[in-house]
Structure formats: structure tokens, C-alpha cells
Amino acid sequence: MEEEEPIQNLWQEVRDLTLGTSTQINHLSTPPTPLQFLRDYVSPNKPCLISNAVNHWPATTLWQSTHYLTNTLSSSTVSLHLTPTGRADALSPNPISPSSLCFASAEVKHLPFPDALTQVLESEMGCVGYLQQQNDCFRSEYGSLSKDCDSDFGWASEAFGCLPEAVNLWIGNELSETSFHKDHYENIYAVVSGEKHFLLLPPTDVHRMYIREYPAAEYHYSQDTGKFSLELEEPVRNVPWCSVNPYPSPELKEKEMTKFPLYFNGPRPFEVTVKAGEILYLPSMWFHHVKQSPDSRGLTIAVNYWYDMQFDIKYAYFNFLQSLPHSMLCDPASSGKLGLESQHNISICNSEDESSMGDVTASASDKLVHDADDTAEK
């Protein structure tokens, strides 16, 4: 264990020096000034919870009416993500070799919004619907609702030095869950109805996520049988993804703790519940896992704003840290042998269509295509 001490010291020092040693993040009672936001949160890559930033949005009252939503979007076709368990863009048993895992994406159906919302409301285990297309959908598929929210947050746009690249709408229920992942975006996440429950880990904890490559697969739903099948993509495409499930079932908990000791034996994740009317600032490259609780109708509704991140020296430091293979944590003699394992591990835990960390020259338009979270929920 002595060989692991330097990396474990890093996890703790980041908390001691910047993030705090509790599992809670800072909670601001009002939106910060641009300077405060940049100085205290963006520059140190530190999350925060913000209240009283969206009270003036018409959405906070209008969207409590399901009739208003269906009437406003009556002529809109939207993308409904369907899975058997509510866990899209997550690991699932490989259909060819059930003893191994694959990266499973949802089936996406294009439906009139009223029909799609009905499927979300009527979701149950076996068929779970989630409205969460991550391609700037709030300003396209849901454009009729966009007038109910601000187009951006002025204090955030000034601090970031740009306007949002994408704004996305999320409508789901308690069955939808987003596995651990991270994004190349600065994320301002506003909950309008219901609650979102986040587990957060800083980028320096990358080795605790056990990022590995898994073959991509996609769910297909049969209207005739009412059941899903899971099919591997052809040709084979591998996706780097986080291996840790932070909430294993009781019968699997001991096995999971043995497989992923760096996660379960390391510092506890930061925990934050974002309630209706609150905003979470989720810094770029932070790992996050998301569950949700619905309102009295059975819905959780949120809008998130993706701002482009800065590919600066912090990114370079993280890229180097991530390139160190797990074997180096346990075998200091391998410190000069990065080789193929290092290159394999350099790929990041991202949204489904994002590239590896090496693709730092990807254009803004390329990065707009996020069909994960999430969810991958972002």
C-alpha cells in the first residue's frame, strides 16, 4: 500500500486545499457576481449550489402544469430514449458473453411530445422512457418552451467569456439513473421540478473510476412482444467508460468493493441534492452520477447549459494524470513503462459520442453531439 500513497495523498490534498473535507459543496443563497464566480469556483474547478437564480423564470410556475407542456408542444416531435431499466449509456451484460459487460445505449424513438410524455409518466421497470436528447434540444425540439427560461446566465457567460454552446431539456421520473461519467463542458444545471441527486468526484480521482473500454451496444424495443433486445454494434466500436456502480445491490456489494477498492476505500464522493428552483455549477471534467426524485405528477424536469471549457494547463495536468495506468499505483518499478497500457488508459469517461482526451482539437460543432448521459446526464 505504500506505493499507492502519492496518489492517495493527491486525492486528500485536493480536498484539504481547495474543495473542503466534508461531503458537501458550497451553497450560495444568491447568484454570484461574475468575478466571484470566476475567482471562487471556475478557476479552482470547484462546484457549488446556487439558490434564487431562476425564480423569475416563467417555467418555474408554467411547467407545473402538464396541460401547459402538452399544449405548448402539441405539434413538436421529440426524441424519447427507451431502456428496460432506466439506465441508458451504462454498462450491461454483454448479449454475446453475459459474463462480460458492454456499453448499452437507449433506443431512440421520435414521437409527438404528448405521446412521449405519456410514455415517461407510464414508465415502469421493463420499459422506461426518458426525454434527454443532448444535442441542444431545448433550442430545437423544445424551442416552443425556450421563452420560459433565460437564454443564458449573465454572471456565468461573463465569467466563461462565451455564451452556452448547447442548452438541453431533461424530463424523466425516479426510474432514470445516469452512471458515472464526465464531460468537456462547464455545466450550469437548473432543476425546474422534482429533485436531482448527484454524486461528484473531482478529476484528480480519475483512477478511482476504473475507466475501461467496453464494446458498444444498443437496445431495441419490440412493440409486438413488449420486450427489449440488446445488440452489439457492427463493426465493433469500443467505448471508454467508468466501471464503478456506487450503489451495488446488497448481494453484490462485497464483490464490487473487492473489484474497485480505490473507489470504495477512498474519500467519499461529494453529495448534493438540487431541488426545484436551484442550480448546480458542475465544473468540466468532474465525474458525476445522477439519480432523481419526481414531483407529485411523477416528473423531474431540468434544463442544463453547456459552456465550452478551457483547454488550459489544468487540462494538461489532468491528461498526464489520467495517462498513468493503474499498475503504476501498485508497482513503482513500472514508472518508466507507460507504453501501450498508458495509451489505452488515456481515453476518457465521456459522453457516448465524445472522443478521447487526445482529441483536444475537436471543433465546437463536433462537441455539440452528446447522445449519451448524462445520460449520461450532464
CA 92 to chain centre: 17
Q: What is the pLDDT of residue 372?
A: 39
Find the helix or strand (DSSP H, E) in which 323 lies: helix 313-323
CA distances from 267 to 61, 104, 282 (A): 39, 29, 19
- Tell which wins on pLDDT, 329 or 330: 329
Q: Band of the pLDDT at 340, cuts 50, 70, 90?
A: very low
The answer to whether 105 and 218 have CB atoms below 8 angstroms apart is yes
- Average pLDDT estimate for 185-203: 98
Q: What is the pLDDT of residue 5?
A: 78
Q: What is the pLDDT of residue 1?
A: 44
Q: Band of the pLDDT at 333, cuts 50, 70, 90?
A: very low
Sign of CA dihedral 200, 203, 207, 209: positive
Distance, CA of 263 to CA of 248 (rounded, Å): 13
| pLDDT higher than 80, residue 3 | no
Q: What is the pLDDT of residue 328?
A: 64
**Number of other residues whose CB lies within 10 A of the CB of residue 60:** 17
The pTM is what? 0.87
pLDDT in tens, 352-365: 333 333 333 333 33
Q: Band of the pLDDT at 330, cuts 50, 70, 90?
A: low
- Average pLDDT estimate for 303-332: 85
The answer to whether 294 and 196 have CB atoms below 8 angstroms apart is no
Three-state DSSP state, 211: strand
The answer to whether 168 and 378 have CB atoms below 8 angstroms apart is yes
CA 262 to chain centre: 21
Q: What is the pLDDT of residue 4?
A: 59
Reading the block at residue 244, the C-alpha cell is 464503478
Lowest mean pLDDT among 4-18, 47-61, 77-91: 4-18
pLDDT in tens, 202-223: 999 999 999 999 999 999 999 8
Q: What is the pLDDT of residue 371?
A: 38
Q: Band of the pLDDT at 7, cuts 50, 70, 90?
A: confident
| pLDDT higher than 80, residue 107 | yes
Q: What is the pLDDT of residue 325?
A: 82
Q: Which of 357, 355, 349, 356 is nearest to 373 (CA)?
A: 349
Q: What share of the chain in percent tops pLDDT 90?
A: 81
| 365 phi/psi in degrees, rounded to 5 | -65, -35
| pLDDT higher than 70, residue 238 | yes
| pLDDT higher than 70, residue 341 | no
Q: What is the pLDDT of residue 375?
A: 42
| pLDDT higher than 90, residue 122 | yes
Q: What is the pLDDT of residue 138?
A: 98
Name the range with the highest mean pLDDT among 9-13, 268-272, 312-316: 268-272
pLDDT in tens, 246-263: 999 999 999 999 999 999
- Average pLDDT estimate for 68-91: 97
pLDDT in tens, 44-54: 999 999 999 99
Distance, CA of 93 to CA of 5 (rounded, Å): 34
| pLDDT higher than 60, residue 374 | no
Parallel, antiparallel, or unpaired: how do β-strands 101-105 and 195-201 relate? unpaired
Provide the b/e sequence for 249-288 (b: ≥16 CB within 10 Å): eeeeeeebeeebebbbebbebbebebebbbbbbbbbbbbb
| pLDDT higher than 80, residue 231 | yes
pLDDT in tens, 127-184: 999 999 999 999 999 999 999 999 999 999 999 999 999 999 999 999 999 999 999 9
